[in-house]
Amino acid sequence: MSENKKVVEKYIDGFNKLDHKQILSCLTDDVEWILPGVFHLKGKEEFDREIENPAFEGKPVIVVTRTIEENNVVITEGTVRAKKKASEYINLNFCDIFAMKNGLIKQLTSYLMEVKL
């Protein structure tokens, strides 16, 4: 497994554990996180505040089904199951595009789609 893929795997593992330190260790200081039509965050501080989005509770369950890498871009596909506050669980399919720089995540673009089970 490439070093870039290992960093992305560590990042996703950190989200499954809600381990802020582990997640942030995978990011450049000037990281950008883009969720088209929802938000565009810049820097570790903004990123850190979104790790535990106030609309959700508990730990998400993220399962990666495919990882592809070319040059310094890693793409992952998979599923997320998360508990909304005062509501049911939400099930999502995702495609995350990680732009890497010097072995860290420089930019993350996340595409999410809710799936009704």
Q: Which domain CATH number covers 82?
A: 3.10.450.50
Long-range pairs of 21-26 with CB within 8 A, sequence gap ≥ 24: 23/47, 23/48, 23/51, 24/48, 26/104, 26/105
Show the domain range for 89. 3-114
Cβ neighbours of residue 32 under 8 Å, at least 6 residues apart? Answer: 40, 41, 42, 106, 107, 108
pLDDT tens, position by position, 18-59: 999 999 999 999 999 999 999 999 999 999 999 988 889 999
pTM of the model: 0.94
The span from the CA of 45 to the CA of 58, in Å, is 21
pLDDT tens, position by position, 77-87: 999 999 998 88
The total number of structural domains that make up the chain: 1
